[in-house]
């Protein structure tokens, strides 16, 4: 027994002092169970102790998703589950807490050491940090993401106003002629398309949370076709082929659209003198004999997206690195190196597979396989319906005057009494001077002087139990739930007045056990 204990001690010492960086992680959760001194230094986690048991994890938890940059966490998860062992090098960008400069590492080998556990050997991908031009590019991308967030907030506020008043007109009965009704429907459809464009911009900057649902990939392609034709230019012929059956999968519609756009851009840049871009979508069955190049593929029914161009093609060295973040063969200033890595991340999130076929001078074909589902595609927008209103007193806090007026109008049309405030401090003053009850708080999240979260906390101290509904035009500003509690009520701008009033009525009824004073507006 003593010899066995001594052997285990020696093995632990060897692991800790090994000249190569090693760690042991769980393949599903990516939780690190052991990390040696070299790996801690390489990953910028020198403060972390050598975790060698689940007991020590209780005191300090390290997860590979916290180590790798956005998107790479899912990618490493897919790689580790794809085979029991592997020796092919995979490049990743890591978050180094000791430095703001992004760094590259490579997982040079991984091997199963126990059920659902794998040993990783990692090394510096290069002897230096990113080149100055790469760093500048990374900083530009971060600045673009911040700019996109600000644009989305203002743009979504404007869309909330336009779509809100349009829907109120639609349900008012004042649009008598078919011509007027059709014109209003086109305004609402334009608002939807504008909201989708904002979502694409934020998805590019990784600021949008995916909202998967059952979607028809072919329908998304049809909706995107006009944008694709403008994107690729007149010297490239776009050919679209669709099978007659429905091509349904479970995914975020905006991400599928972004995937198509990114692949089209990649093909366009490979055809500087013009050519043909062909997109073919159909259902396929993959059997036991099919082996995916980048993901493990389970035999079954899939939606295949095939994108083929007649461009310059790629050599073997390029094919091996084409999905790596920041890798690009384009001239300086002509490419970010993020387009195909984003495609890879989207396919991974959808539990799909992506294969690449290309030779120099013979063009390129991407084949994407997404799991097929039989369930009918979700409807994007329900027809406006009349919603029960009430006589309760609601406080509305919104710093954007146009949104404030539109929301007030929608609530008052349903019979509610509305107290208005343009900021948190003003709302506190209005609440202090109001002698009667305030049955609900509806507040924007991002406001000057005091944000919505702080305002709600202050008001709930004086009026405990009051339901609170948060609104925001930022797509990454949703509230997380406190442990053991339900997530806070939240509405993403732009929203339809009927969606808002339905949510308000639901929350008021729930807070009163369904006995609220309700009526039909």
Helix (H, G, I), strand (E, B) or coil at 480: coil
- In eight-state DSSP terms, residue 253 is H
Q: For 377-404, what is each residue's pLDDT tens digit?
A: 655 444 445 567 889 999 999 998 888 9
Residue 161 near residue 500, CB atoms below 8 Å: no
Q: Which strands sit side by side in the sheet containing 468-472, from one edge to the other?
A: 417-421, 393-397, 440-444, 468-472, 489-492
Q: For 441-482, what is each residue's pLDDT tens digit?
A: 999 988 888 989 999 999 999 899 899 999 887 654 555 544
CATH topology of domain 212-382: Heat Shock Protein 90 (3.30.565)
* Residues near 325 by beta carbon (within 8 Å), at least 6 away in sequence: 69, 71, 72, 91, 93, 337, 338, 341
Residue 381, pLDDT score: 47
Residue 455, pLDDT score: 93
Quote the CA–CA distance of 305 and 390 in Å, as a whole number.
49
Task: Give pTM, 2 decimals.
Answer: 0.46
* Residues near 89 by beta carbon (within 8 Å), at least 6 away in sequence: 106, 107, 108
Provide the pLDDT confidence category of residue 294 given band limits of 50, 70 and 90: low
Domain residue spans of the chain? 11-129, 212-382, 388-520
Quote the CA–CA distance of 369 and 147 in Å, as a whole number.
34
Distance (Å) of CA 256 to CA 81, 120, 191, 207, 332: 24, 32, 20, 16, 28
Q: Is it true that the peptide bond before 494 is cis, omega within 30 degrees of 0?
A: yes
11-129: CATH architecture: 2-Layer Sandwich (3.30)
- In eight-state DSSP terms, residue 485 is S
Residue 281 near residue 305, CB atoms below 8 Å: yes
Quote the CA–CA distance of 386 and 80 in Å, as a whole number.
51
Q: Which residues of 256-285 are buried (b: 16+ CB within 10 A; e: fewer)?
A: bbbbbbbbbbbbbbbbeeebebbbbbbbbe
Q: Does residue 86 register a pLDDT over 70?
A: no
Strand 518-520 and strand 388-390: the pairing is antiparallel
Residue 419 near residue 395, CB atoms below 8 Å: yes
For the residues 318-322, what does the mean pLDDT come to? 77
Whole-number average pLDDT of the chain:
75
388-520 maps to CATH 3.40.50.2300: yes
CA 110 to chain centroid, in Å, comes to 28
Residue 473, pLDDT score: 76
Quote the CA–CA distance of 318 and 357 in Å, as a whole number.
12
Q: For 211-233, what is each residue's pLDDT tens digit?
A: 678 889 988 898 888 888 888 88
Quote the CA–CA distance of 132 and 144 in Å, as a whole number.
18
Helix (H, G, I), strand (E, B) or coil at 155: helix
More confident residue, 127 or 386: 386
Residue 130, pLDDT score: 45
Among residues 376, 513, 476, 399, the alpha carbon closest in space to that of 146 is found at 476
Q: Does residue 96 register a pLDDT over 60?
A: no
């Amino acid at each position: 027994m003593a010899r066995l204990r001594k052997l285990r001690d020696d093995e632990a010492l060897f692991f800790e002092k090994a000249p190569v960086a090693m760690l042991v992680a769980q393949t599903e959760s990516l939780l690190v169970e052991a990390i040696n001194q070299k790996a801690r230094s390489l990953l910028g986690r020198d403060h972390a102790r050598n975790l060698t048991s689940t007991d020590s994890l209780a005191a300090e938890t390290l997860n590979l998703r916290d180590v790798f940059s956005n998107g790479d966490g899912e990618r490493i998860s897919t790689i580790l589950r794809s085979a029991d062992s592997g020796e092919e090098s995979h490049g990743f960008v890591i978050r180094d807490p000791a430095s703001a400069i992004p760094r590259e590492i490579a997982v040079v080998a991984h091997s199963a050491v126990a059920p659902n556990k794998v040993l990783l050997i990692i090394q510096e991908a290069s002897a230096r940090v990113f080149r100055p031009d790469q760093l500048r590019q990374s900083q530009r991308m971060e600045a673009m993401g911040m700019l996109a967030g600000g644009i989305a907030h203002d743009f979504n506020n404007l869309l909330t106003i336009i779509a809100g008043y349009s829907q109120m007109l639609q349900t008012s009965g004042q649009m008598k002629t078919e011509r007027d009704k059709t014109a209003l429907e086109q305004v609402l459809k334009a608002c939807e398309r504008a909201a989708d464009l904002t979502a694409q911009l934020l998805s590019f900057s990784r600021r949008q949370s995916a909202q998967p649902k059952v979607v028809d990939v072919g329908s998304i392609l049809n909706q995107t076709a006009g944008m694709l034709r403008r994107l690729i230019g007149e010297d490239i012929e776009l050919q679209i082929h669709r099978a007659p059956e429905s091509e349904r999968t479970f995914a975020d519609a905006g991400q599928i659209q972004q995937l198509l756009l990114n692949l089209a851009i990649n093909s366009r840049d490979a055809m500087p003198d013009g050519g043909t871009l062909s997109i073919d979508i159909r259902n396929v069955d993959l059997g036991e004999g099919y082996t995916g190049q980048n993901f493990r593929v389970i035999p079954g029914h899939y939606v295949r997206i095939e994108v083929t161009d007649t461009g310059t093609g790629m050599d073997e060295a390029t094919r091996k690195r084409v999905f790596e973040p920041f890798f690009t063969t384009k001239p300086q200033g002509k490419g970010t190196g993020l387009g195909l890595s984003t495609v890879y991340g989207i396919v991974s999130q959808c539990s799909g597979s992506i294969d690449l076929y290309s030779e120099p001078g013979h063009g390129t074909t991407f084949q994407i396989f997404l799991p097929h589902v039989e369930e009918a595609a979700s409807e994007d927008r329900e027809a406006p319906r009349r919603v029960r209103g009430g006589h309760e007193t609601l406080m509305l806090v919104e710093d954007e005057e146009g949104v404030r007026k539109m929301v007030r109008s929608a609530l008052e049309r349903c019979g509610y009494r509305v107290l208005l405030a343009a900021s948190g401090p003003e709302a506190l003053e209005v609440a202090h001077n109001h002698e009667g009850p305030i049955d609900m708080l509806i507040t924007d999240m991002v406001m000057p002087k005091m944000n919505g979260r702080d305002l709600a906390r202050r008001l709930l101290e004086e009026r405990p139990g009051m339901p609170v509904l948060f609104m925001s035009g930022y797509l990454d500003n949703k509230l997380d739930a406190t442990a053991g509690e339900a997530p806070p009520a939240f509405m993403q701008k732009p929203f339809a007045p009927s969606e808002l009033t339905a949510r308000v009525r639901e929350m008021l009824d729930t807070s009163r056990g369904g006995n609220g004073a309700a009526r039909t507006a």
